[in-house]
Amino acid sequence: MEKCAVCGVDAKQKCAGCNLIFYCSREHQVIDWKKAHKKSCKCFEFESNDILGRYMIAKRDIKPGEIILKEKPMIIGPKTISHPICLGCHKSLIPIENDYYKCSKCTWPLCGKSCENSEYHKDECKLYCEKNFKSSIKFCESAKAESSYCVIMPIRALLLKKSKPKVYEEFSKLVSHLEQRISTKLYEALRINLAQFITNFIQFPNVTEKEILNIAGRFDTNCFEVILPSKKIKARGIYLETAMMAHECVPNTKHFVDENFEMRVFATIPIAKGQKILTSYTHPLKTTIERRLGIKQAKCFDCICTRCIDPTEMSTFASSIKCTACNNGVLTSIDPLENLSDWKCTNCSQKMPGMKVFQVLNEIKIKMENLNKKSVQDCEKFLNDHEHILPNGSVFVVDVKYALCLLYGNVDGFLFKDLSQVQIERKMKLCEEMIKLLSIFEPGISNSVLNTQFELEACKIVLKRNDSSKEKLLKVYNQLITSSEGKSLLETRLKRIPI
Ligand SMILES: C[S@@+](CC[C@H](N)C(=O)[O-])C[C@H]1O[C@@H](n2cnc3c(N)ncnc32)[C@H](O)[C@@H]1O
């Protein structure tokens, strides 16, 4: 029998937060919560090693869907180079009479008077006023991204040094990888512009150029995107605990930021006690070379995760191209951790230099970037044009087919009521294929899989194929409603289905 954490007698009541501590009564649980447990009530803890630095592990078994942590940002603000956003609420700015509203005290653009005293802006506002700062940001039709936003987050961090020294101390423990970053063009520009602005113009006391660049590096290594499409917010934030999750290209968690900028991390698959709690710093529908180069550039390490070391990427052949010599096999890298390693056919003796494969994949990537993924015709043409070169599990094919799963039934000219039997069957086949593939890249709870399941059940309802489809569709709908896609978009999709 477990013992009460307060008085030591036999106890049956378990803390529902961490599932690790027991109490004999509600009263003792309340006493312990106030005294100590509030701080330690977590299902995770931190460990560290030479390769990962600090990382998060499960203190107990965690079920899929369970919230692992919730936390408020330590700092939130614009990206280094950002489209004009309000420094008070972080919404994209809308011009008033051909210019943005400017803070009546410091002149930085804001969305209106009410944001002048926002908790995010008021301290920095005082600093800019003291130095008689004048913002040069003006509205222009082409809406260019502004590099002057690079100063905001570092100044917000430095202000914490005085206002919340303990929090700043925690922030200072985050890795910056400054040694690797310092010789890059971006950091040379930051050294000249950002560091000089803070030391010479703002004359921030007791801060060196190195500390400023370290701060910039900490942001680049540890920030999470804060994207709320419904509120037109595109910012970034430091979440001190969330930042401790190490990376794997196939992670076991997902996270989202709610309307109050609170981060929530939840398990997507079961995580056993002692296992690492992992996130992904990249996108699942990128080739191995692209993922690894992106991670190297942004986070300064070489990913050697299970997906990256497997030339077949869990038998999906996600980064492969078809062999044009035998027309039967696909080319896979001989050594996926060596970007320029030769590739060889799975069926014949054909080999291709890594550089050539890289060029082929890059050309396709450029075509993908220019593809109108809102057009059924353009997406179908892309698939047709690349059928001879891209295998079914290619990230490019999956990306476009996933787009088609959502387009058929939901866009003008292709609404459910307009679809022919052949088109509905095409949509169903795409959905079935995508559910299988997407579940490999994002196992467990995944928005893209749920979206595709939703569309598949919709097809079955339209074709009156399955009596339980309505029930299944509503179940998926309820799971999706909490997702970032937003309720209204999902409701519109629901309305198009004749249930
Ligand atoms: C967001 S931080 C994670 C917290 C960090 N480990 C710490 O001690 O503060 C990201 C950094 O952690 C390390 N890291 C995370 N995942 C890794 C992985 N799979 N392999 C190697 N290093 C990793 C890298 O140094 C990376 O730049």
Can you list the domains of the chain with their CATH numbers? 1-41 (no CATH), 75-212 (no CATH), 321-495 (1.25.40)
Mutate to test the pocket of ligand 1, among 301, 303, 306, 307 (most ligand atoms within 8 A of CB): 301
Over residues 413-428, mean pLDDT: 95
Instruction: Compute the distance from residue 175 Cα to the ligand 1 centre, in Å.
Output: 8
54 lines ligand 1 (CB under 6 A): yes
The CB of 281 under 6 Å from ligand 1? The reply is no
Q: In this predicted complex, what is the ipTM? A: 0.99
Who has greater pLDDT, 140 or 118?
A: 118
What's the confidence (pLDDT) of residue 486? 65
Are the C-beta atoms of 329 and 391 separated by less than 8 Å?
Answer: no
- pLDDT score for 487: 75
Q: Among positive and negative, which fits the CA dihedral 419, 420, 424, 426?
A: negative
Cβ(301) – ligand 1 distance below 6 Å: yes
From ligand 1's centre to the CA of 299, what distance in Å? 7
Rounded CA gap, 311 and 343, in Å?
9
3-state SS, residue 495: helix
> Average pLDDT of 464-484?
82
Q: What integer is the mean pLDDT of 174-189? A: 96
Mean pLDDT of 114-136: 93
For the CA of 222, the closest atom of ligand 1 is: 1
Q: 296 in ligand 1 pocket by Cβ < 6 Å?
A: no
3-state SS string over 238-307? ECCCHHHCEECCCCCEEEEECCCCCEEEEECCCECCCCECEECCCCCCCCHHHHHHHHHHHHCCCCCCHH
**pLDDT bracket for residue 485 (50, 70, 90):** low
Which residue, judged by its Cα, is nearest atom 21 of ligand 1?
52
Alpha-carbon distance of 96 to 105, in angstroms, equals 18
CA nearest to 89, candidates 108, 114, 72: 114
Q: Is the CB of 197 under 6 A from ligand 1?
A: no
Lowest-confidence region among 34-43, 169-178, 230-239: 34-43
Residue 247 beta carbon below 6 angstroms from any ligand 1 atom: yes
pLDDT at 1: 86
Closest to 282 measured CA to CA, from 311, 264, 312, 308: 308
Is the distance from the beta carbon of residue 242 to the nearest atom of ligand 1 less than 6 Å? no
Place of tokens 């179940």: 475
State mean pLDDT over 78-87.
94
pLDDT at 484: 53
Q: Work out the percent of the chain whose per-residue pLDDT is above 70.
A: 99
Strand partners, 228: 233
Band (483; pLDDT cuts 50, 70, 90): low
Which of 52, 220, 300 most suits a substitution to test ligand 1, by most atoms within 8 Å of the C-beta?
A: 52
Task: Report pLDDT digits (tens) over 186-198.
Answer: 999 999 999 999 9
Q: What is the mean pLDDT of the chain?
A: 94
Q: Which atom of ligand 1 is nearest to the CA of 177?
A: 27
Q: pLDDT of 360-390, one tens digit each? A: 999 999 999 999 999 999 999 999 999 999 9
Q: For residues 65-77, give the mean pLDDT.
A: 96
Q: Is the CB of 222 under 6 A from ligand 1?
A: yes
**Strands 246-247, 278-279: parallel, antiparallel or unpaired by DSSP?**
parallel
Q: Sorting pLDDT into bands at 50, 70 and 90, what band is 139?
A: confident
CB 329 within 8 A of CB 338: no
- Yes or no: say if 153 and 78 are a contact pair by the CB < 8 Å rule: yes
- Whole-angstrom distance, CA of residue 457 vs CA of residue 213: 52
Look at residue 200 and tell me whether its pLDDT is greater than 70.
yes
Q: Does ligand 1 lie within 6 Å of residue 250's CB atom?
A: no
Answer yes or no: is pLDDT of 164 > 90: yes
Residue 259 CB-density burial (10 A; 0-12 exposed, 13-18 middle, 19+ buried): exposed
Is residue 74 within 8 A of residue 268, CB to CB? The reply is no
Ligand 1 centroid to 247 CA: how many Å?
7
Is the CB–ligand 1 distance for residue 52 below 6 Å? yes
Closest protein CA for atom 3 of ligand 1: 244
- Residue 108 banded pLDDT, cuts 50, 70, 90: very high
Distance 128 CA to ligand 1 centre (A): 34
Taking the centre of ligand 1 as the mean of its atom positions, its distance from the CA of residue 278, in whole angstroms, is 11
Task: Give the pLDDT score at 32.
Answer: 86
Least confident of 133-147, 190-204, 247-261, 361-375: 133-147
